[in-house]
Structure 1
Amino acid sequence: MTDHRPTTTSHDSERSRATGTHRTPDRGSPRAIRRSMSLSEAAREFLRHPSPWMIAAVFVVAASTRVAIGDWQLTDALVPVVILAAFPLVEWIIHVTVLHWRPRHLGPLTIDSELARKHREHHVDPRDIPLIFIPPKSLLLTIVALVAIALLAFPRTALGLTFLLTITTLGLLYEWTHYLIHTDYKPKHALYRAIWRNHRHHHYKNEHYWFTVTTSGTADRLLGTAPDPATTPTSPTARNLHAG
């Protein structure tokens, strides 16, 4: 009798590993994301974690204070435009220099941030839900720094609050996009599919490329870290940063 069951080619297997759809269970925990998830289920899980609420709280306070102060000027429209234009590059720089920081030793002192440590753990198990989010301690320090910048680095308090509103909006977008990419919610639109594929390649194909998360690789193409996945070797250290 002829067996009509579909076979898996080596190309299909390679592609599934590169995009994280390979069915070999991840190492680790019962906290790993389920194998299928609707958008509403993803949203409910997203709201169970502290970082979205922390960022949203800053957004609400900044928005209400900004409206109360008024003093709307043309520069309030310019700030979001500049930040949006720079964001893909900033995201790339943070990913490369902060998240992929290689620990340094200065005598008995090890220089290694919580963000870098947690990001290495995230690469080990990209499906461990808590590791997808910005660590609360690091996020709190970042919020304090951003509030200080908003209040001290701008000529008008209102303009600083516009800056803070823009940053917190992008922060929420980053957390949601990064989280959703690591769930099994399947992309339904071309733009999100490109973003999803770009970041999956970073985790499951080669950690030395595809550093952008919320864009479809704009900064990667500009900075030469968006190679053709078909001709890019699969890295043996994608799940164990700096092991090589």
Structure 2
Amino acid sequence: MAREFTRHPSPWMIGAVFTGTLIARIAVGDWQATDALIPLVVVATFPLTEWVIHVTVLHWRPRHLGPITLDSELAVKHRAHHTDPRDIPLVFIPTRSLIFTIAALLAIALLAFPRLGLGLTFLLTITTLGLLYEWTHYLIHTDYKPKHALYRAIWRNHRHHHYKNEHYWFTVTTSGTADRLLGTAPDPAEVPTSPTARHLHAS
């Protein structure tokens, strides 16, 4: 299972950034109390961030401005992922989109923080969560069966999103904290099975 995971580009790309950032962070030093605060804030807000990205970016409905179609690779690939949730390459962040994302995160780490060490701490936290996201999402879409309660809750939520109703259960790596907060974690028994869960935005 891990061997299949490492056959895809995104774990290697995120892992390379993580490794380089870790080496740079140790070399820079300058550890301060805020270096502990940044991971706490990022991890605490990650379920909400994940929910917002899933709803607004991945479930983006193509818009048309005259002859121009406003769409993104992430949204296109995510629609394909819903069509065939067991197509493993579609589980991972698309390479081109990931390159742009990494470039943006590097810019934020280098320019948006008052000191380099703090920016590197931010980037180290984000890449750690990125690897966790890719592994969890991959595992959910394999035949691996949950053995522990926490992962079982995460697995169940995302399976409901794909096979029950695409309008609910948007978190992937958490057990639905943001979904409960934002009203997208109903009782599955009370939610009708959506005819468009496999074909997003179809009428």
Which TM-score tier does this pair reach, normalised by the shorter chain? over 0.9
List gaps (5 residues or longer) in structure 2.
Answer: none
Q: Deviations over 1:179-215 (max 9, x none)?
A: 0000000000000000000000000000000000000
d(CA) in 2 for partners of 1:85, 1:116: 26
1:212-227 equivalence runs, <5 A:
212-227=171-186
1:152-171 equivalence runs, <5 A:
152-171=111-130
What is the aligned residue count? 203
1:34 alignment partner in structure 2: none
Query: Does 1:98 find its partner at 2:57?
Result: yes
Alpha-carbon deviation of 1:128? Answer: 0.3
**DSSP-derived class of the 2:64 partner:** strand
Query: Does 1:85 find its partner at 2:40?
Result: no
Runs of 4+ with deviation above 4 angstroms = none
Alpha-carbon deviation of 1:138? Answer: 0.2
**DSSP-derived class of the 1:208 partner:** coil
1:1-244 equivalence runs, <5 A:
42-244=1-203
Alpha-carbon deviation of 1:52? Answer: 0.2
d(CA) in 2 for partners of 1:222, 1:193: 20
Q: Deviations over 1:119-169 (max 9, x none)?
A: 000000000010000000000000000000000000000000000000000
Q: Deviations over 1:206-242 (max 9, x none)?
A: 0000000000000000000000001100000000000
Amino acid at match of 1:169: T
Q: Deviations over 1:22-72 (max 9, x none)?
A: xxxxxxxxxxxxxxxxxxxx1110000000000000000000000001000
List gaps (5 residues or longer) in structure 1.
Answer: 1-41
d(CA) in 2 for partners of 1:53, 1:226: 33
d(CA) in 2 for partners of 1:130, 1:90: 23
Larger helix proportion of the pair: 2
1:28 alignment partner in structure 2: none
d(CA) in 1 for partners of 2:12, 2:128: 12
